[in-house]
Every structure is written in structure tokens, then in C-alpha cells.
Amino acid sequence: MSGIDEIEEWTRAQRRVIDLVRDLPLSRSEQRVPACPDWTVRDLFSHMVGLGADVVRGDEPEDHHEGWTARQVEQRRDHDVATLVGEWESLTGPVREWMAAHTTRPLGDVIIHEQDLRGALGEPGAQHTPGLHALREKFAGRFGGGLGDLPPIALIGDGWRWVSRGDEADAAVAIRTTDFELARALVTRRSAAQLRSWTERGDVAPYLGAFALLGSLPDRDLTES
């Protein structure tokens, strides 16, 4: 993710998430997150806070495996949202310093999960930030790298376009939707049914595995609107 101040983008996203959850009543904080169905809103927020704490401590496996993320949630099982907000705010400076010295990888996590939270809470927003645009570019590259010998596919948004190989007009498969929907599809937040509904040319079925960059495709349609 280049061409933007990624540390500032992380900080802005952190502030948006805090503003989103800070005053949630208990009933809303215990709602399930459709994009992360094993977790409630508070659980997902616990993971986001715990990721920052672990990164600063130097405890970050390459694969961000389930055991690592589950431990972050369990360690904060008795923490309310206000306590979690306080912990994350205390980590702002250390995480910024860590990113300046190492990598801005934490930006991807907060951008993806911000939208997961918005979907759970019915609070759309931040759909056209520089951080989200940069993440879409990064994952388009990863998507392209997983296509193997499949014929070219075109992803056509309302402003952003991407083709795996050659020209858009020559692509065997064309998917057309909004820029934001493509960004979410590329981080495995859209179902096979949604991908099929956006396919205006060709058969998307052989490409579905390439969209599963962060695990299996959701078994139900997801939206943040």
C-alpha cells in the first residue's frame, strides 16, 4: 500500500472505529458480526485491540492463525467496550512507532474490520478512504496471483477497473459492481451468490477459489449498507 501516509490512515481508521463503538449499549455490543459469525461486536473489537497489543510486544505470527486471534478475545472476555477503548487509545502511539520502524501491515486489519463492524451495526461509512483504496489494490494483486492459467477476468467498478491480463474487452469473465463492493469482495467479504449476480460476462465459478483469500467465502450475502 503506497502513495498514501499509511500510518495516518491507520490512525484515522482507529478513530472512526472508536467513535463507532464508544457509546454502544450492551445489547448492541453483543450483536453477532455477520462477516465474523463466531464473534460479537465486542469480540471483534477485542481482537482489534489485542492485535495492536500483540504487534507492539512482538507477538505476531505470519499467518494470524485462529488460536492467536482467539486468545486476544479470551484475554479480554470480561472487558467492557469502554475498557477496550481505553486500552486501544493507550496503544496509539506505540503502534504508530512500531509501524514507522517495521511495516504498516496493521492498516489492513483495521480497514477490513471497520467495515465488518459497520455491517453488524448498520452504520455504513468510510467506503472511499485512501486506506480502503490502497487495500483494494493490494488484494487485487493477490487475487491475480492466485488465478494460475485461468483466462483473463475483469473487475469493473464505477471508477476503478482491473484486468488480470490484457484488455478489459478481451476478458473471458467480467464482474461489474461498485468500487466499494469490489474492495469487499477482494477481502473475502462477499458470497459466491453475490459474485455471480455481478457477473455480466462468462462464468465466475472457476474463479471463486481465488476470491477466498482470507478463508472460505461467506455462506450468506453480506452488506454494509
pLDDT for res 3: 81
Among the candidates 121, 148, 178, a domain finishes at: 121
- Determine, yes or no, domain membership for 216: no
Domain that holds residue 40: 6-121
Summarised one tens digit per residue, pLDDT across range 21-42 is 999 999 999 999 999 999 999 9
Taking 70 as the threshold, does the pLDDT of residue 102 lie above it? yes
Mean pLDDT of 138-156: 97
Q: Which of 99, 121, 143 is the last residue of a domain?
A: 121
* Full-model pTM: 0.96
17: CB partners within 8 A, 6+ apart = 45, 48, 110, 113, 114, 117
Q: Judge whether 218 lies within some domain.
A: no
**Mean of pLDDT values over 79-101:** 98
Q: In terms of domains, do 111 and 152 share one? A: no
Element (H, E) at 156: strand 153-156
In a domain, 217, yes or no: no
